[in-house]
Structure 1
Amino acid sequence: MSRSKEVITCKAAICWGVGKAATVEEIQVEPPKATEVRVKMLCSSVCHTDISSLQGFPHNQFPLALGHEGIGVVESVGDEITNLKEGDLIIPTYIGECEECENCVSGKTNLCLTHPVRLNGLMPDNTSRLSVRGQTLYHVLSCATWSEYVVVDVNYLLKVDPTTNLAHASFISCGFSTGYGACWKEAAVETGSTVAVFGLGAVGLGAISAAKMMGASKIIGVDRNEMKKEKGEAFGMTHFINTNVSDKSASDLVKELTGMGVDYCIECTGVASMFTESVEATKMGTGKTIAVGIAAELVVPFGLLAIVFGRTLKGSVFGGIKAKSDLSIIAHKCQKQEFPLEELFTHEVPLVDINKAFELLKQLDCVKVVIKM
């Protein structure tokens, strides 16, 4: 019997305040409203932003239903939904794409004005479909993927092929696609150009994959974990720099390999000191750096001379990927197994052991932790 009009009680990972450990508790999930979809989550994964959310980023609203990467199946739809049905496999996204607003038609940005990034932890009508112990539950961005069920506005969902690998689809819902898009959409890397990628987590490996796809002649991975060398090479990296084994700066080490620096640098670490280094690693006058890593400190020191000498630093959300037109292309490549995404899958934990995921992320061999729902 359909439960489309019923409140569902299920388990979810939540946090009750800044710095507090996550707990797995029973929550209530309301039916979807007219333009909403209730989703049964099948697979989720952990991104660095999930760690930041425990510290009050991107908002300070608690209690907080955690998670933003994942894939699920449609459980029920609102009365006005015509493009999705029960049983469809979908990826929740944290940006929308109306294809009509000034930003969407400009071709200059993926940040839709009609369906913007949700930074207050609520649905577009500024309410929530989630509650715990009678209290409103907020989510990190457009939804909460570390929950057995969640309600998402239809404009933040992408339907994918039912044969898609669930874990791999979870990876492209944020991290991998962010890096991939940074090279593909934001930097628009040209054939024969040179690229440096700072930080070889899932985001950085996505950037390397796109650099290879775009025909870069030299793809330099920069990390302080020697174990990332093998991962980088699996995605197309041609050179590796371990910053832990040299007293020289990361930018100087990149220049030793290239002479004048790279054409493009993708900064994925979010480490404050690396912002200046990533810009200085590019060519004077023409170098371009795309910053996708979120720093622990939202205000960071920056060396002005790095920019004064003609280089460009550009910020990016979701790597410039549009939620429908671009992510669908990546999803198709994922379904056709065009990326070695199995290289990202290093650990798995059940939802009830969610705090173990945060411990696993500290291990040198950890890239992505999959949460089994």
Structure 2
Amino acid sequence: MATAGKVIKCKAVVAWEHGKPMSIEEVEVASPKEHEVRVKMVACGVCHSDWTYMNEMVPSRLSQFPVVLGHEGAGVVESVGPGVTKFSPGDKVIPLFVSQCGKCECCLSPKTNLCKQNWASGHQALLPDGTCRITCKGQQIRQFASIGCFSEYAVVPDINLAKIHPDAPLDLVFLLGCGISTGYGAAINCAKVEPGSTCAVFGLGAVGLAAVMGCKAAGAKKIFAIDINPDKFEKARQLGATDCVNPKDHSKPIQEVLIEMSNGGVDFALESVGSTVVMRSALESCRIGWGTCVIIGWTEAQELSLRPNDVLMGRTLKGAYFGGWKSVESVPMLVEEYMKGKLKVDEFVTHRLPMKDINKAFDMLITGKSIRTVITI
């Protein structure tokens, strides 16, 4: 492309300060360095994790501003840096907030989908060399999760990128970069939901709804969908929920309600809210002896406290990161499953907005008026 090797001036959404509205700015995106790829973004989703990063009070995170958020996107390769062999200009790709180098002990183990190669820098919103490729008004702008999809162009490490089917609709499959994959995989890969089992999913955002879909795909007999927003219940039923429960409709704790409704507790509970109070409720709703609780929701500002008996009596508490998928190799497969009609994606998109309406999109997410909003870049 004509822009290869040159600095590109474009628009991006910049979060200048913690807890403050974001603004559209003209930024400069440098050309990719070794093992980096510059992507022309097409679409990006508004995920609760972006809101958490921007608003949750974590002192260590305050130094990571200004930043371009966005980690659930899709686009087309514009140019590649030295040493890149798996990507070429024109390839359709999905950036990944979980890398897969294929060489570290985690990548080589079937026991985890984590990767050590870009873990520390990604959590500091930097690229592996400790810098970023975006500048604005003479200042370096960090990139959330080493990506920063809320920009017309983004430079990402080649180990944080999945090449997908050339016919894949980018304005839909971007959801497989986080929300759907995370919830669906949490049920399939991490909880390992069993046929005929009873499940409870706490929180019916995109991740929770995908977890409902995963429980259904795994053959669960009973799926309780829990949320304080009853507007989410119709979509949950469409994706496989058998019972929808609003904690506000009951005078006793939700875990006690579920224990009664399931005759002793659920076999699998999946928490997708990011609240330690809800995590505790999810664990306590599990059946003594063999119930499994999987934490999907993200928070760093809260601590989870438990009674030893919560797990001593046979319950299992575990976490799920990106649904347990080995990112680079799994996302193309999930895209293929969607294109074959075996995985639902379209049903999760409720709104489409231009990049200039990014703050409106976040407001709709937090107030429960949207499941996923497509931001057209």
TM-score of the superposition, structure 2-length normalised? 0.94
Q: Deviation per CA, 1:174-220: give whole Å up to 9, x if none.
A: 11111111111111112222211101110011111111111111111
Further displaced range: 75-84 or 319-328: 319-328
Q: Segments of 4+ in structure 1 off by > 4 A?
A: none
- Equivalent residue for 2:65, pick from 55, 62, 66: 62
Counterpart of 2:24?
24
Residue 103 of structure 1 aligns to a residue whose secondary structure is coil
Is it true that 1:230 corresponds to 2:234 in the alignment? Answer: yes
Q: In the alignment, which of 303, 314, 318 is matched to residue 314 of structure 1?
A: 318
1:48-80 deviations in Å (ceiling 9; x for gaps): 011112136683311111211110000011122
Contact 2:104–2:115 under 8 Å retained in 1? yes
Report the alpha carbon displacement of residue 15 of structure 1 after superposing the two structures with TM.
1.0
| Preserved CA contact (<8 Å) 1:34 1:79 | yes
Q: Which range moved further: 243-252 or 84-93? A: 243-252
Deviation digits for residues 10-65 of structure 1 (CA, Å, limit 9, x no counterpart): 00001111111100000100001121110000001100011112136683311111
Shift of 1:338: 2.5
After superposition, the C-alpha distances for 1:268-296 in whole angstroms (9 at most, x for unaligned) are 01122111110011110211111011237
Further displaced range: 133-142 or 353-362: 353-362
Q: CA–CA distance in 2 between the matches of 1:211 and 1:5? A: 47
Mapped pair 1:93 → 2:96: yes
Q: Which position in structure 1 is the counterpart of 2:115?
A: 112
The DSSP-based 3-state class of the residue aligned with 1:298 is: coil
Structure 2: distance between partners of 1:76 and 1:288: 45
8 Å CA contact retained: 1:90, 1:160: yes
Of 144-153 and 47-56, more deviation after overlay is shown by 47-56
Identify the residue that residue 145 of structure 1 maps to in structure 2: 149
Measure how far apart 1:365 and its partner are. Answer: 3.6
**Which residue is equivalent to 1:357?**
361
Any residues of structure 2 matched to 1:141-290 within 5 Å, and which? 141-290=145-294
**Is this contact kept in 2: 1:272–1:297, CA < 8 A?**
no
Letter in 2 for 1:180: Y
Asked if 2 retains the 8 angstrom alpha-carbon contact of 1:63 and 1:138, the reply is yes
- Residue 188 of structure 1 aligns with an amino acid whose one-letter code is K
Equivalent residues of 2:280, 2:304 under 8 A apart? no
- The alignment's TM-score, normalised by the length of structure 1, stands at 0.95
Q: 1:76 pairs with 69, 75, 79, which one?
A: 79
After superposition, residues 286-365 of structure 1 pair within 5 angstroms as: 286-295=290-299, 297-365=301-369
CA distance in 1, matches of 2:141, 2:273: 30
Aligned to 1:122: 126
Q: State the secondary structure of the residue aligned to 1:326.
A: helix
Q: Is the 8 A contact 1:59 1:119 kept in 2?
A: no
Structure with the largest fraction of helix: 2
For 1:29 and 1:227, locate their aligned partners in 2 and report how far apart those are by CA, in whole Å.
41
CA RMSD of aligned residues (A): 1.7
Q: Secondary structure at the match of 1:325?
A: helix
Question: Structure 1 residues 48-57 or 352-361, which shifts more?
Answer: 48-57
Distance of 1:351 and 1:270 partners within structure 2:
26
Quote the Cα distance in structure 2 between the aligned partners of 1:100 and 1:128: 24
Quick one: percent identity of the two aligned structures? 39
Instruction: Determine the C-alpha separation between the residues in 2 that align with 1:4 and 1:344.
Output: 35
For 1:75, the aligned partner's letter is E
Specify the SS of the correspondent of 2:40.
strand
CA contact (8 A) 1:218 1:239 kept: yes
Shift of 1:155: 0.4
Letter aligned with residue 167 of structure 2: T
Count the aligned residue pairs.
373
Secondary structure of 1:270 counterpart: coil
Aligned residue type for 1:280: E
Letter in structure 2 aligned against 1:137: I
Deviations 1:150-188 (CA, angstroms, capped at 9, x unpaired): 101100000111222223212111111111111111111
Contact 2:292/2:317 (8 A) holds in 1? yes
Whole-angstrom CA distance in 2 between matches of 1:266 and 1:119 = 24
Contact 2:173/2:345, CA 8 A, preserved across alignment: no
| Bigger Cα displacement from structure 2, 228-237 vs 108-117 | 108-117
Which digits, 9 at most, give the CA deviation of each residue in 1:284-310, with x for residues without a partner? 021111101123733244444322322
Q: Report if the CA contact (8 A) 1:174-1:318 is conserved.
A: yes
- Where structure 2 has 5 or more consecutive residues not aligned to the other structure, the ranges are none
Distance 2:305 2:354 in 1: 40
Q: Secondary structure at the match of 1:361?
A: helix
What are structure 1's unaligned runs of at least 5 residues? none
CA distance in 2: counterparts of 1:21 and 1:342, whole angstroms? 29
Instruction: Find the aligned partners of 1:327 and 1:342 in 2 and give their Cα distance.
Output: 16
